[in-house]
């Protein structure tokens, strides 16, 4: 069985509406409609997963619960790491199960995500609206990422290979805010 590897880059974009228009012009169609995601990052009491570049996350995306493990990142302009993921039936029970194994919530983040695809292509684009800005993620083979990035008007210098937690902690250090959660203000947390 081949080990699944996540291969992606993030790019900060000025507006969600602008990138939606550009994706539509380039023939991308919505694969997964816009939905709210709530993400709980878990770690042991000593922060052992994070210290070793690992991630354990439980995500509620619409009504779907996903449990995800990500391995250490390979060095390079494009983020590459082993990713194991499965669906669960109950978010709270999944978090409780990991809690029973010694993994507690260390960070929480939310976003609105829309996934776009173009027929016959080996990758997809996600549009992530977050409390710290709007980003796209290009996920697929490195060649596809590079050519799609160019089509969208971006260069490798625009690529970000950091996690949302890292970007939030960086933003939080500059702007202030809750160091354990990246949340929308209450009025913006409802799905449009």
Q: Could you please report the per-residue DSSP string of 119-160? A: TT-S-EEEEEEETTEEEEEEES-HHHHHHHHHHTT--GGGEE
Sign of CA dihedral 157, 178, 93, 56: positive
How many other CB atoms sit within 10 Å of the CB of residue 27?
12
Backbone angles phi, psi at 141, to 5 degrees: -65, 145
Global confidence as pTM? 0.91
pLDDT tens digits along 78-132: 999 999 999 999 999 999 999 999 999 999 999 999 999 999 999 999 999 999 9
How many other CB atoms sit within 10 Å of the CB of residue 116?
20
Q: Which residue has the tokens 């977050």?
A: 130
Burial profile 156-190: b = 16 or more Cβ within 10 angstroms, e = fewer: eeebebebbbebbeebbeeeeeeeeebeeeeeeee
Domains identified in the chain, total number: 1
Query: Helix-strand-coil percent breakdown of the chain, rounded to 5?
Result: 25, 40, 30
> What is the pLDDT, as a whole number, of residue 36?
97
Residue 105 burial (10 A CB sphere; 0-12, 13-18, 19+): middle
Token output for 183 = 């949340």
Per-residue pLDDT of the chain (192 residues; tens, 9 = 90+): 778 999 999 999 999 999 999 999 999 999 999 999 999 999 999 999 999 999 999 999 999 999 999 999 998 999 999 999 999 999 999 999 999 999 999 999 999 999 999 999 999 999 999 999 999 999 999 999 999 999 999 999 999 999 999 999 999 988 876 678 999 987 554 444
Residue 180 is part of a domain; what is its CATH number? 2.40.320.10
Q: Roughly how many angstroms between the first and final C-alpha of the chain, as a whole number?
A: 40
Facing residues of 107 across strands? 41
> What is the pLDDT, as a whole number, of residue 125?
98
Its domain, for residue 133, covers 5-188
- The helix (run of H) or strand (run of E) holding residue 8 is strand 5-13
């Amino acid at each position: 069985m081949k080990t699944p590897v996540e291969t992606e880059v993030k790019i900060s974009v000025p507006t969600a509406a602008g990138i939606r228009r550009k994706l539509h012009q380039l023939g991308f169609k919505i694969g997964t409609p816009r939905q709210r995601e709530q993400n709980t990052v878990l770690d042991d009491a000593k922060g052992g997963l994070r210290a070793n570049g690992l991630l354990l996350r439980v995500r509620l995306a619409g009504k779907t619960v996903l449990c995800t493990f990500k391995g250490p990142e390979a060095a390079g302009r494009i983020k590459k790491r082993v990713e194991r993921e499965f669906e669960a039936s109950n978010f709270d029970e999944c978090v409780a199960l990991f809690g029973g194994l010694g993994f507690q919530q260390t960070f929480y983040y939310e976003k609105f995500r829309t996934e776009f695809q173009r027929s016959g292509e080996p990758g997809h684009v996600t549009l992530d609206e977050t409390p710290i800005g709007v980003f796209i993620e290009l996920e697929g083979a490195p060649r596809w990422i590079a050519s799609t990035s160019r089509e969208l008007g971006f260069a490798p210098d625009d690529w970000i290979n950091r996690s949302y937690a890292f970007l939030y902690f960086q933003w939080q250090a500059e702007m202030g805010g809750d160091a354990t959660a990246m949340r929308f203000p209450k009025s913006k947390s409802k799905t449009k």
